[in-house]
A = this chain, B = another copy of it.
Amino acid sequence: MQKADFLEWLREGSISIPAALLTEYKNMHLTEKELVLLLQVLHFAEKGNEFPTPAELSGRMASSAFDCTEMLRTLIQKGFIEIKDGFSPDGIRFEKYSLDPFWEKLIDRFLQSRKQERVHARQVEET
């Protein structure tokens, strides 16, 4: 093992995900495959690619490009991902994925879980 390899590891960096995502995705009716696809889209965006192709996604996933296309379609239909227009500095239009609807759903779901816990805590107190 060489120091250059370690340096490359550090350069690739880490991805930080809210702990609530791991505890709530099930309640958001997402499968593990869909969750990981969303993380891949996030990671591509952090590296500057805001519109990864199904082939690029499938290159990192245990799913075919066809399956990735299907999953993207499903996630758009269920309102987790949106396709938005962006414009480059030279005015060229491009498409990109926005995960804002996904974050909004996560916030909603987290707030709902908190409410349920409070109701539950009150019921326990009253008995």
Identical copies in the complex: 4
List, in ascending order, chain B residues with CB within 8 A of A114's CB: 5, 8
Q: Which residue of B lies closest to A100 (CB)?
A: B7
* Chain B proximity mask over A12-38: 1 for CB below 8 Å, otherwise 0: 111111111011011000111101100
Residue A43, interface by CB 8 Å: yes
Instruction: Point out residues on A near B: beta carbons under 8 Å.
Output: 1-3, 5-20, 22-23, 25-26, 30-33, 35-36, 39-40, 43, 46, 60-63, 100, 103-104, 106-107, 110-111, 114
A17 to B24, CA, bound (A): 18
Contact of B18 with A14 in the complex, beta carbons under 8 Å: yes
The 8 closest A-B pairs by CB, nearest first: A14-B16, A32-B36, A12-B19, A16-B16, A32-B33, A32-B32, A10-B103, A31-B62
> Bound complex: CA of A16 vs CA of B107, how far in Å?
19
